[in-house]
Amino acid sequence: MARVGAVNVVNRAARSATRRVRAESAPIGFLQRIYRATRALNDRFLYPSRHLAVRRRLSSAPRPQRIVVVCDGNLCRSPYLQAVLQRHLPDIAISSAGFVGSDRAVPQISVALSGQRGFELAGYRSRPITQSKVQDADLVIVMDADQARRIARLFRVKHERIVIAGDLEPTFDTSRAIRDPWNQSVEAYKSTFDRLDRCAATLVSLL
């Protein structure tokens, strides 16, 4: 009986601790949702001016000879956009890189979906971003504003050489950032690739 009583005490303590964690995390989750909603609203409001600004900047600048596409792991978004741009801009040297990891294979979902669109990514391996790669590029394309700030800060790249992919979309989507589909559903990959296709189409039309 004493052992049963002890087990009951432990179980009650565990349930109590779980409730405390949930109670403590609830405000954090709520604040995160508020932050994301506010940021999305701000991005929607600023989209027209950002889109016009990047179009003017790209159309008036000299045609780039080297473009680097960057995302976090160089596994999903940047290899796909690299492949799309290579098809439509064969005279420009286009590469991609990421902030974390190296020599990793593209996820099978990405390989399959890219293959359906005519791109072969099975042999691609992720590459780390380096000072020389960024400095040699005429244009650096990133997936969100945080990545743009990191590129500018870590590699001393001028704002004029960085493009946030979402600013190229012809119409505003749900956010400025291009969602990372890593470990997400097939639909998440399709949505991200569709957005990148639209971004690529705008870029190609301007170069």
DSSP string computed for 25-89:
HHHHHHHHHHHHHHHHHHHHHHHHHHHHHHHHHHHHSPPPSEEEEEESSSSSHHHHHHHHHHHH-
> Whole-angstrom Cα distance, residue 41 to residue 196?
21
Whether residue 20 lies inside any domain: the answer is no
Can you read off the two tokens belonging to residue 102? 């190296």
Domain count, the chain: 1
Instruction: Output the pLDDT for position 15.
Output: 45
As a whole number, the mean pLDDT across the chain is 88
Whether residue 19 lies inside any domain: the answer is no
pTM more than 0.95: no
Whether residue 26 lies inside any domain: the answer is no
- Range of the structural domain that residue 121 is part of: 42-206
What CATH number does the domain containing 200 carry?
Answer: 3.40.50.2300
For the segment 88-114, the average pLDDT, to the nearest whole number, is: 97
